[in-house]
Amino acid sequence: MTDNLVLGAMLFGTVADERLSFEILDRFVDAGGVWIDTANCYAFWEDPSGFGGQSETLLGRWLARRPGMRDRVRISTKVGCEPTEAGRFPETAEGLSAAVIKNGIEGSLRRLGTDRVELYWAHKPDPVTPLEETVGAFGELVAAGTVGRLGCSNYPTWQVERARQLARAAGVAGYTAVQQHHTYLQPRPSTQPSVVHRFGAVSDEVLHYLEHHPEMTLWAYTPLLSGRYTRADKPLHPDYDHAGTTRRLAVLDEIAAETGTNRNQVVLAWLAGGTPAAIPIVGISSVDQLDDAFAGAALELTAEQRERLGSVA
């Protein structure tokens, strides 16, 4: 059993059909995987309706056809990004009011066919709803046993800490995880080509905060840049076109050769063994890719290799 790699189910039920999704899910569990990450809005941009829920619905069908499976996996899902009008995201995103959170978890549980989720995320900050209201609504779910833990995704660091302070003051459960985009390559300053959220990318400030709050865990989405480390048909975004990228890729190639692996596996090992450690969320479109990801999460880099990777500017 391994909990240092999360299976991202974002495109299950849309881009990945049921046969392929079930095949990947079965292989993930057979290989010792535990955590599956989804959201109530996945994947509204891929579905003709313009609304999400397809990923959770597919996971619910998979769980229903695998008796006993629900006790072997942990479900992570999110609320806050589902559009309320088709074709108008992000301006009509549902937000994080108490009513939305209540309705959101009820809908997610219904689609998943379960009575609980192990980790429930605020998908992105809500600029309108007071943090006190959001924190209180999430805390009620933990108190009721519907949710095990809470996390926030794409949040600025100050808001993470403010929400945690409010939870402590109110005597309710607070956030114990953050989910942001994190990978080895770095775009040019003041750009964020891999994410659509203003505070979606991990910053040095986020890492510093986590170093001083070891009770918090970091989940890293899009760690492999959607295949761009290894696939010639998927070039890097132009914002990665700078000398630092060339130097970092060269070191990745050196260490991949030394370890008999590839760039993807070295990136996953670098994330999983970092300080603070990150739990990569991998979006998979084949069983072979899944096996490759497990090998990367299990790879142990030497201290010298990690120093080389970290010293490249």
42 is catalytic: yes
Contacts of 122 (CB under 8 A, 6+ apart): 78, 79, 80, 96, 134, 138, 150, 151, 152, 153, 155, 175
Catalytic residue selected from 42, 155, 209, 240: 42
Neighbours of 76 (CB within 10 A): 25
Q: Alpha helices of 114-186 — where are they, by DSSP H?
A: 131-144, 157-170
DSSP reduced 3-state for 289 = helix
For residue 204, which amino acid is it? D
Report which of 167, 172, 78, 195 is spatially closest to residue 126, judged by C-alpha positions: 78
Give the distance, in angstroms, between the CA of residue 19 and the centroid of all CA atoms in the same chain: 23
DSSP state, residue 240: G
Catalytic residues, by residue number, are 42
